[in-house]
Amino acid sequence: MTSPMRIRANVRDGVVDVRVLMAHEMETGQRVENGRPVPAWFINEVVATHNGKTVMTAQWGPAVSKNPYLQFRFRGGAAGEKIAIKWTDNRGESRTDEATIA
């Protein structure tokens, strides 16, 4: 089961500032619990889409923190339009959430 992301998107002078909080364990695969290694489990790709167009792609690894925070900017968005964020993890699980640009 995945939990919703918190997404904020604000436009200023044609530049949209996007801030995203994702709920994910981000297990490195290096940790041992009760004598057994905890398998790696982390987001390895984040894609941001605006009007059907990819505006940002990130490739992540196990060094990114638990419950990661991501901030990025792109040009060309306007207030009232939607921005969608999708993450996919190394187990193949994914989640997409949307926010309206303010």
Kindly state the DSSP code that residue 75 receives in the 8-state scheme: E
> How far is C-alpha 59 from the chain's CA centre?
10
Site map 30..69 versus other proteins, x via CB under 8 A = -----------------------------------xxx-x
Tokens of 90: 């190394």
Q: Out of 10, 14, 15, 23, point to the residue binding other proteins (CB under 8 A).
A: 23
Nearest to 16 by CA among 70, 61, 73, 85: 73
Q: Which residues bind other proteins (CB under 8 A)?
A: 3-4, 6, 19-21, 23, 26, 65-67, 69-71
